[in-house]
A and B are shown apart, each in its own frame.
Chain A
Amino acid sequence: MFDKDKWQEIFDTIRKHKLRTLLTALGVWWGIFMLIVLMGAGTGLQNGVFSMFGSHARNSMYMWTQPTTMAYKGFQPGRDPDLTIADMNAIRSNFGEAIKDIAPRMWVPSGEIKRGKKSGSFDVRGDGPDFINIQAMNLTNGRFINPKDVEDTRKICVIGKRVKEVLFEDEEAIGEYLTMAGSEYLVVGEVASDRSNENQAQQDNQTIHIPITTAQRVRNRPNAVNWFGASINEPYSVYDYEEKIAALIRERHNIHPDDERAIGSENVAEEFDNISGLFTGIRVIIWVVGIGSLLAGIIGVSNIMLIIVKERTKEIGVRKALGATPKDIISMILLESVFITTFAGYIGLISSVGAVWLLKIAVGENVPMFSNPQINMSVGIGALVLLTIAGAIAGLIPALNAANIPPVVALRDE
């Protein structure tokens, strides 16, 4: 198959005809380059937007109660029933198969938080141990609230990144105490928000987490819950369980089954799915544009091959007079075309990978909505294979034409 002499002949021809080789190569190169760079940028945009949802719990929801709007079982409208820890347990025991994490939260009014001579005003929230799995955050030091803390109503706290910076600066915070509303709390952990929405992240980092039971005691509202977040295991749909849980809450709190307004909820998956839909659209556009430019490349190659064969008619006549068979002529033109397209496509692949890599470095961490542009290598290689086949077909038609020109006619060509 590999005929060194034939390749020598082809390289010779290519080397002696740099301009036309370059023109052919350019079309192919551009097609591949555009496709890959567009896809890289598209993935970057997608990764960027998706990372705004943070690293955790895309399949999650938040739920709270609001004043009722319908009379039910003797209760008047306008009642605002409190969620309770018992509700959380009921949700767990009813939907245990689907519930991954459930995290009730209790707000504590902000106040001045002191540590020695330093002080600041921060949000204080009573949380359950699962909370760290629901809201995107990373434990940077120590531990998060554990079930024992909740059970024993311990006076411990986990502090946000900003809290640590303000109250401790470079000092070790774990094992130290903070003073909130006259009581001392032991710092057991530090967390940093992983949400990419900057406002949300900033707010999260200024939060002090205490056990929910401790918060309930501070508020003097035992068992009460302001709202809770829940995440759903993978095969189950968060949409289904959003409704099921709401129905359970209505039943437990004597709310009319049709009273939509009494239960507030937010479904992270819904928002995520909306954006996913948008990205499906963007991907379609990228593919259309990419394939369009690839097609333009292929048509360019075909055109140039036609011109090349026309230009070489006389040469083909001479070669035939000297003993070239039709097979010799076809393989010469075909191999040349395939070689140029493959090589140019390969260069296009390499340079676009380089361009995407540069884009990644240039963008870095600084540009919102854009991160980690990636290339789907199988798409790149697929495009290259397609282009090679197209190059072969582009070369085949003119090659067959050339092989069939009678030598007298070819020799007469000027």
Chain B
Amino acid sequence: MIQLNEIRKSYNTEFTSLEVLKGIDLTINEGEFVSIMGSSGSGKSTLLNILGILDEYDSGEYLLDGRLIKNLTQTQAAQYRNKFLGFVFQSFNLLSFKMAWENVALPLYYQKVDRAIRKERAIEYLDKVGLKDWANHYPNQMSGGQQQRVAIARALITEPRVILADEPTGALDTQTSYDVMNIFKEVHEQGMTVIIVTHEEDISAKTQRVIRLQDGDIISS
């Protein structure tokens, strides 16, 4: 599903050049439940951003579902993200002025799906994360765990090939974290590829495979 060959990425400023990824080789197969572990500054978030086509890499090759992801236009990138990828962020990134179901339905809006169908599907996915009754609530009326579940429903609604989660439990307490991880586990059991970035051992322990990053290199996978 995902194949990385010699991926390099550095951030250049006027005075310094910081190499964040130093030639990453990695293969993740369809249906895997993977966590990327590493301390702060290890390059794990950068790696996830590249996997999510939110950021570009300097050299190497990234194949997503057999397609080379390189030098895409913004529009192509947007279409790939919309079709193949679902994002879950540490800070949830729900739009505060939209109700839960509207947030969940937003990716379908960019697929030009009819509003009535969007709503129906959004409520269906909210039901899957156990928040059907919260469909008409705004994010600020919900707890952190609930907001993250809404965000997961939003990531799932387009039925993407890969779910990318950047520290999805970083803002949650332990019990809520485990609840969220259980949802990811269920998603994985339905056959989706799930990639989670975390720095917490107990979270990565819940995944099938742990990829450890240190200073821009993979030390174990």
A residues adjacent to B (C-beta < 8 A): 5, 8-9, 12-13, 16-17, 314-315, 317-328, 403-404, 406-408, 411
A324: which B residues are within 8 A, CB to CB?
A: 78, 110
What is the minimal beta-carbon distance from A409 to any residue of chain B, in angstroms?
9
Judge whether A327 and B75 touch: CB under 8 Å: yes
Interface residue? B137 (CB, 8 A)? no
Chain B residue numbers with a CB within 8 Å of A9 are: 109
B55: Cβ under 8 A from any A Cβ: yes
The chain B residues found within 8 Å of chain A, CB to CB, are 49, 52, 54-56, 74-75, 78-79, 81-83, 87, 89, 93, 95, 97-98, 102, 106-107, 109-112, 114-115, 154, 158
Task: Decide: A325 and B74 in contact? CB cutoff 8 A.
Answer: yes
**Shortest Cβ distance from A266 into chain B, in angstroms?**
72
* Smallest CB gap from A328: residue in B: B110
**Could you tell me the dominant secondary structure of chain A's interface residues?**
helix
B74 touches A322 (CB 8 A): no
| Cα(A289)–Cα(B128), bound, Å | 61
Residues of A within 8 A of B83 (CB): 323
Interchain residue pairs with CB less than 8 A apart (11): A318-B93, A319-B110, A322-B107, A322-B110, A325-B79, A325-B110, A326-B78, A408-B49, A408-B55, A411-B89, A411-B93
Q: Are B75 and A326 in contact (CB under 8 A)?
A: yes
Whether A325 touches B75, Cβ cut-off 8 Å, given contacts A5-B109, A406-B55, is yes
A323 with B75: CB separation less than 8 A: no
Cα(A320)–Cα(B72), bound, Å = 14
- What are the residues of chain B within 8 A of A317 when measuring CB–CB? 93
What are the residues of chain B within 8 A of A411 when measuring CB–CB? 54, 89, 93
Q: Indicate if the CB atoms of A321 and B74 lie closer than 8 Å.
A: no
For the complex formed, measure the closest distance between the CB of A4 and the CB atoms of chain B, giving whole angstroms: 8
In chain B, what residue has the closest Cβ to A15?
Answer: B97
Alpha-carbon separation in the docked complex, A13 to B106 (Å):
13
Cβ contact of A318, chosen from B95, B97, B109, B115, cutoff 8 A: B95
**Do A322 and B49 touch (CB < 8 A)?**
no
- Chain A residues, CB < 8 A from B106: 319, 322
B110:A314 contact, CB within 8 angstroms: no
